[in-house]
Structure 1
Amino acid sequence: MVGIILVSHSSKIVEGLLEMIKEMVNVDSESENLVLKTAGGTEDGRLGTSAITISEKIEECNECSDIFIFCDMGSAFLSAEMAKELCEPDIERKIKIVHVPLIDGAFCASIQASIGKNGEEIMKELDTEFSIMT
């Protein structure tokens, strides 16, 4: 099972993206092959990101073999990196913070995970689509 965490400065952005993925990929937030989580905004509802919230979402994906984190911009990546560093080593090894466009990347990875692709296969597809591996 693959976990995908959607991170944005806005909770509305990731909730809308989650809704789009669930409908277009025809999956629930948790299915046989895919777990989708959102971490948008701060704990008190403002714009921003929270390493603590992202860390909690990572913990909710701890049963997954691979955990992909897709971020909208700048400090979202920093918060994701801090959240990753807070994890136990066995969970930290599963985490891939992917530097691709949030919507396109998360959608692509969700499709791949929903049809049973593993983390390595998903990374290859992301590389094919976005040239992330150089």
Structure 2
Amino acid sequence: MNMVGIVLVSHSYELVHGLQQMLIQIQRDVPIAIAGGDEDGGLGTSALKIKNAVEEVYSDKGVVILFDLGSAFLNTELALEWIDKDKKVRIANAPLVEGAYGAVVQSGCGGTVEEVLRAAERAKQLNKVPSL
């Protein structure tokens, strides 16, 4: 089954690699690529890595990108300038971990790119601490 791909962008390779491994255990069939760390193995983001990650998991169903901090968003926008405008690629305004979880579950259920995007963005409303 063709599924929406997920791209995880972070300043830290270890952060997105660990998240990718967790998500694979939840849904093995969803294509998940990562772009984390700078070119020297330190902290940072790279528009080229993001572009390559999108191309790695792209299908006609599309791709949803999640990121950690502001400059990762800026590099994601730059990467999208290098990708064909007709491709279905969306940037989620969502927390990285919770949003990625929702996105992977929705993609694994066969959701469209817009449904996967909404699932990721719904994570902004999660209350992780019960009211006392």
TM-score (normalizing by structure 1): 0.84
One of 19, 32, 37 as aligned partner of 1:36: 32
TM-score (normalizing by structure 2): 0.85
Task: Tell me the residue number matched to 2:44.
Answer: 48
Structure 1 runs not aligned, ≥5 long? none
Kindly, what percent of the aligned residue pairs are identical?
40
Runs of 4+ in structure 1 off by over 6 angstroms are none
**Is residue 113 of structure 1 aligned with residue 113 of structure 2?**
no
Q: State the shift of 1:60 in Å.
A: 1.3
Task: Tell me the residue number matched to 2:129.
Answer: none
Hey, what's the Cα distance between the residues in 2 that align with 1:17 and 1:75? 19
Structure showing greater Rg = 2
Task: Tell me the residue number matched to 1:88.
Answer: 84
Task: Tell me the residue number matched to 2:91.
Answer: 97
Q: Is the 8 A contact 1:50 1:79 kept in 2?
A: yes
Structure 2 runs not aligned, ≥5 long? 126-132
SS at match of 2:86: helix
| RMSD over equivalenced CA pairs, Å | 1.5
Partner amino acid for 2:21? E
- How many corresponding residue pairs? 123
